[in-house]
Chains A and B, each alone.
Chain A
Amino acid sequence: MTQLNSKIPSGPLADKWRTYKATQNLVNPANKRKIDIIVVGSGLAGAAAAASLGELGFKVKCFTYHDSPRRAHSIAAQGGINAAKNYRNDGDSVYRLFMDTIKGGDYRSREANVYRLAEVSNGIIDQCVAQGVPFAREYGGLLDNRSFGGALVSRTFYARGQTGQQLLLGAYGALSKEIEKGSVTMYTRRDMLDLVVIDGRARGIIVRNNVTGEIERHSGHAVILATGGYGNVFFLSTMAMHSNGSAAWSAYKRGAFFGNPCFTQIHPTCIPVHGDYQSKLTLMSESLRNDGRIWVPKKKEDAEKIRKGEMKPGDIPEEDRDYYLERRYPAYGNLSPRDISSRAAKERCDAGYGVGSTGLAVYLDFADAIQRLGKGVIEARYGNLFQMYEKIVDQNPYETPMMIYPAVHYTMGGLWVDYELQTTIPGLFVGGEANFSDHGANRLGASALMQGLSDGYFVLPYTVQNYLADQFKVPRFSTDLPEFLAAEKEVRDNINRLLGIKGKKSVDTFHRELGRIMWENVGMGRNKEGLEKALKLIPELREEFWKDVRIPGTNDELNPELQKATRLADYLELGELMALDALNREESCGGHFREEYQTPDGEALRNDKDFAYVAAWEYKGTENKAELHKEPLNYEFVELKQRNYK
């Protein structure tokens, strides 16, 4: 039985990371050349890690399913990146960023990891500026900041509405530099389909070349996964169409534990669903909540008339509007954290006050801000977002309030890692959204970019080296070893089995159905009955998928339907684990809201006595129940409190 050891260094919180770095093992420069490192994923965490390890002198192979490493979904983050620079002189500090993140995560993250994240946040900004990332600046030539949810200080740095894009291009530049130098070899259009474990250590991967269909074996002394989140298990989400959980899932099936799979973030400000053919959801940046006010009609009959198109939002007088976030959470108001804002929207819509033709929408209204600041200021701040909204919805948000509704956006859960970001398989590391580590049960806005770059630039280059210190003596691995051949055969058999089904239903038909089951039962509000239902329905759907899916074409060509099918096959297993984890966690915390566990006024009710732990699940075969391991969260420095945004 694997014992969970989080390997947190001893000593005061502020010294842990410094001590680790001062005492870790290093590899001699001449020996670094003898070591191969595989990095899967080229988003913020992957590109930053690959570039930084290449700079150190290791031989890196970096893989992505995209046609170019510049396209990872990190680009889609609009709003910004947090750092504790305190350039505003508004009382920010590393400790405050740490505390906000711990509290925002509803006390379900590791103190030491979160402190390290806050500690390295300032270095990220310095690094990115030096790379030429064009952050917004003021007339004095210094950097500008804005506010985000869950914080009382302005610590968010941004580059117009494209912060993620610009940060990724910075990392992509660093990666390109190393590719040119020859220290990193880039493999594009590859799906990782299996992990190769030799003598208990991660030693390689099996990938499919998505252009030719060739199944390739690649070896390395260590493997880093930076493959993003698994939100597409819900079919509709703000993730990119091809974002997938397959790399992480194959690692799970090879023995890496999966941490807190049920922790999903539902983002409050997305454009509502409009039809059955819809393929994805579009996020409107959280920064809009700086100036927009969220409301629904106070009277049910008004809401009904709006849904029928008999009334317009402008017809409802001020006194008949319910600014429910300002009413329930006066201290944070419209800038309440994401989980709380999302749930409050769902609560109003479920109670019959929702607007839009479906009743699954609330208003985000800029009328007050336009009156106070003028249209010009609002345009300068949010022009591109307003234009994007108008393009999609065909309504002008300067004249009529935006309609928004929560949507799946991020997964806090992921592969379980220790302080070194190493999984339960030695030599397998995980960075960015793909690991479970820093956000607890709810991630704060502008923290994903921070974590991806922190892992990639400032954590993995140290911890991976520590692991590799004695590995230079191990010669490069042949990919003809039996473990490689066996893993390749399994991958081929799986693909042939999928192609051989020749059933009646398309991959998307199954995916939509899985999404419906997940959203209804493992979505924003969860309860025992629904979760048990999901645990019955998902295996049934999986069985049907393996009997009746229809995939045209062959493996030996560029075959997008086959790619979708291999990814969905994994989601059909992962969805079940999410439901199991949600059922096990008999408390409400952050994004995980169990309807049975709430305070009289509808707030999440944590149970610290029984559930202050990380749920780390071990694979026991697809048809068997996964085994739960618990990593207790020992809070040495922070006092556990009920979150209060009132």
Chain B
Amino acid sequence: MDFTLKIWRQENAKAKGRFVTYQVTDISPDCSFLEMLDILNESLVDKFEMPIGFEHDCREGICGTCALYINGRPHGPDKGITVCQMHMRRFKSGTTIVIEPWRSRAFPVLRDLMIDRSAFDKIIQAGGYISIATGNAPDAHALPVEKLNSDLAMDAAACIGCGACVAACKNASAMLFVSAKVSQLALLPQGRPEARKRVQAMVAKMDELGFGNCTNTYACEAECPKLIKITNIARMNREFFAAKVCGAKEVATTGGAG
């Protein structure tokens, strides 16, 4: 198969970026999308040019590292998978493929298609956990959890933190990401004691870092490689509202940890 690739090139965070066109030929349909980029990069190294910087690691759709905006869609045209799980058989030979990095103020470009997503870590650091210290936790069977809630918590916990939701959103909102963690922990009895504090701290951090607001376009849900549902955002809004009404005072007191 042959393709024309229009790829975003940018030397570093400060440099001005541009699209550069490349041709790749004789690509096997069983080749993965990232392997196709490997082949292109080998040919660039052959010419002593800088290969295209792109993020990837596990190449099996679970680490959340890969992040490419392909023909205007995060992770490309297929539903429920990351870029690294996509194969070239998904494309028509002879077509042009446009490849860009995630675009969001909160995710600055580092080089070419690589971006800095440390804003997501900062949101989790603000409270996306249960504050218990290591050791002496009660027996795992001491606290039964209703299966439905446990399954819903698992659905939300499946988020891989790739940032496709932000890339897909016209407001660059991180609501799906934040609500997935808020929901997972709010659905479990272990997470309830800190639920109010958590949702307020995470939302405040999200706003501070320059992510936009949610205007219910559902683009995040449509593009999420792990099929995280927008109902999590509704749940987070309920939690947030309840916390505002009943729990504002608790937020001021810190030091929940051990």
User: A residues near B, CB below 8 A?
Assistant: 48, 51-52, 55, 66-71, 73, 75-76, 85, 87, 123, 125-132, 134-143, 159-160, 162, 165-166, 169, 172-174, 176-177, 179-181, 186, 188, 211, 240-242, 274-275, 277-280, 282-283, 388, 391-392, 394, 457-458, 461, 502, 506-509, 550, 552-553, 557-561
CB < 8 Å neighbour of A71 from B12, B63, B132, B147: B63
**Given the known A-B contacts A87-B141, A277-B35, are A558 and B53 also in contact in the complex, defined by CB atoms under 8 Å?**
yes
Residue of A nearest to B51 (CB): A561
B50–A552 touching, CB < 8 Å: yes
Residue of A nearest to B37 (CB): A279
A contact residues around B77 at 8 Å (CB): none
Interface residues of B in 145-201 (CB under 8 A from A): 145-147, 150-151, 153-154, 157-158, 160-161, 184-185, 188, 190-191
CA distance A173 to B188 in the complex (A): 15
Q: Which of A85, A129, A457 has the most CB of B within 10 A?
A: A129
A277–B39 touching, CB < 8 Å: yes
CB < 8 Å neighbour of B137 from A130, A134, A557: A130
Smallest Cβ distance from B205 to chain A, in angstroms?
Answer: 10
B132–A131 touching, CB < 8 Å: yes
B35–A85 touching, CB < 8 Å: no
A76–B60 touching, CB < 8 Å: yes
A134–B124 touching, CB < 8 Å: no
CA distance A283 to B58 in the complex (A): 11
CB < 8 Å neighbour of A73 from B63, B64, B188: B63
A contact residues around B134 at 8 Å (CB): 48, 51-52, 55, 127, 174, 457-458, 461
CA distance A391 to B60 in the complex (A): 11
B63–A75 touching, CB < 8 Å: yes
Let me know if B85 is at the binding interface, CB within 8 A.
yes
Smallest Cβ distance from B214 to chain A, in angstroms?
Answer: 23
A126–B147 touching, CB < 8 Å: no
**Given the known A-B contacts A73-B63, A75-B62, are A176 and B154 also in contact in the complex, defined by CB atoms under 8 Å?**
no
**Given the known A-B contacts A173-B129, A279-B34, A506-B46, are A558 and B114 also in contact in the complex, defined by CB atoms under 8 Å?**
yes
A contact residues around B38 at 8 Å (CB): 277, 279, 508
Residue of B nearest to A504 (CB): B46
B51–A274 touching, CB < 8 Å: no
User: B residues near A, CB below 8 A?
Assistant: 11-12, 28, 30-32, 34-35, 38-39, 42, 44-46, 48-51, 53, 55-65, 81, 85, 87, 89, 110-111, 114, 116-118, 120-121, 124-135, 137-141, 143-147, 150-151, 153-154, 157-158, 160-161, 184-185, 188, 190-191, 257-258
B184–A68 touching, CB < 8 Å: no
A contact residues around B114 at 8 Å (CB): 558
CA distance A509 to B51 in the complex (A): 15
B87–A177 touching, CB < 8 Å: no
CA distance A421 to B242 in the complex (A): 48
B146–A141 touching, CB < 8 Å: yes
CA distance A502 to B45 in the complex (A): 11
B42–A177 touching, CB < 8 Å: no
B contact residues around A169 at 8 Å (CB): 157
**Given the known A-B contacts A173-B128, A240-B63, are A127 and B137 also in contact in the complex, defined by CB atoms under 8 Å?**
yes
**Given the known A-B contacts A181-B257, A561-B45, are A173 and B32 also in contact in the complex, defined by CB atoms under 8 Å?**
no
B contact residues around A553 at 8 Å (CB): 50
B contact residues around A502 at 8 Å (CB): 48
**Given the known A-B contacts A274-B30, A552-B50, are A391 and B85 also in contact in the complex, defined by CB atoms under 8 Å?**
yes
Smallest Cβ distance from B107 to chain A, in angstroms?
Answer: 11
CA distance A12 to B249 in the complex (A): 54
Smallest Cβ distance from A65 to chain B, in angstroms?
Answer: 9
Q: Would you list 20 pairs from A and B whose C-beta atoms are within 8 A, ordered by A residue?
A: A69-B121, A73-B58, A126-B138, A130-B130, A130-B138, A130-B190, A132-B129, A136-B150, A165-B62, A176-B129, A177-B125, A240-B58, A275-B30, A391-B85, A391-B87, A394-B89, A458-B134, A458-B135, A550-B46, A550-B48
CB < 8 Å neighbour of A129 from B61, B120, B140: B140
CA distance A127 to B45 in the complex (A): 48
Residue of B nearest to A186 (CB): B121
CB < 8 Å neighbour of A506 from B45, B117, B185: B45
- Kindly list the 7 A-B residue pairs having the minimum CB-CB distance in the complex, ordered from nearest: A141-B144, A173-B129, A130-B137, A134-B154, A126-B137, A129-B140, A52-B134
**Given the known A-B contacts A177-B131, A552-B50, are A68 and B126 also in contact in the complex, defined by CB atoms under 8 Å?**
no
CA distance A241 to B144 in the complex (A): 39
CB < 8 Å neighbour of B11 from A70, A179, A557: A557
A contact residues around B160 at 8 Å (CB): 165
Residue of B nearest to A85 (CB): B140
Residue of B nearest to A70 (CB): B161
B39–A282 touching, CB < 8 Å: no
Smallest Cβ distance from B151 to chain A, in angstroms?
Answer: 8
CB < 8 Å neighbour of A552 from B51, B57, B58: B51
A176–B121 touching, CB < 8 Å: yes
CA distance A69 to B125 in the complex (A): 12
A123–B57 touching, CB < 8 Å: no
B140–A75 touching, CB < 8 Å: no
CB < 8 Å neighbour of B129 from A52, A137, A177, A550: A177
B140–A143 touching, CB < 8 Å: yes
Smallest Cβ distance from A637 to chain B, in angstroms?
Answer: 27
Smallest Cβ distance from B254 to chain A, in angstroms?
Answer: 9
Residue of B nearest to A457 (CB): B134
A contact residues around B57 at 8 Å (CB): 66, 71, 73, 240-242
CB < 8 Å neighbour of A174 from B58, B126, B129, B144: B129
**Given the known A-B contacts A134-B150, A557-B111, are A67 and B55 also in contact in the complex, defined by CB atoms under 8 Å?**
yes
B contact residues around A274 at 8 Å (CB): 30
A180–B126 touching, CB < 8 Å: yes
Q: Which of B39, B121, B140, B150 has the most CB of A within 10 A?
A: B140
Residue of A nearest to B11 (CB): A557
A contact residues around B32 at 8 Å (CB): 279
CA distance A75 to B44 in the complex (A): 32
Smallest Cβ distance from A283 to chain B, in angstroms?
Answer: 8
Residue of B nearest to A65 (CB): B57
Smallest Cβ distance from B67 to chain A, in angstroms?
Answer: 10
CA distance A123 to B137 in the complex (A): 8
B59–A241 touching, CB < 8 Å: yes
CA distance A401 to B31 in the complex (A): 22
B contact residues around A181 at 8 Å (CB): 257
CB < 8 Å neighbour of B110 from A165, A242, A558: A558
B contact residues around A240 at 8 Å (CB): 57-59, 63
CA distance A553 to B52 in the complex (A): 12
CB < 8 Å neighbour of A125 from B63, B110, B140: B140
Q: Which of A75, A134, A188, A553 has the most CB of B within 10 A?
A: A134
CA distance A483 to B206 in the complex (A): 43
CA distance A478 to B30 in the complex (A): 53
A contact residues around B133 at 8 Å (CB): 52, 55
A contact residues around B157 at 8 Å (CB): 134, 159, 166, 169
Smallest Cβ distance from B124 to chain A, in angstroms?
Answer: 5
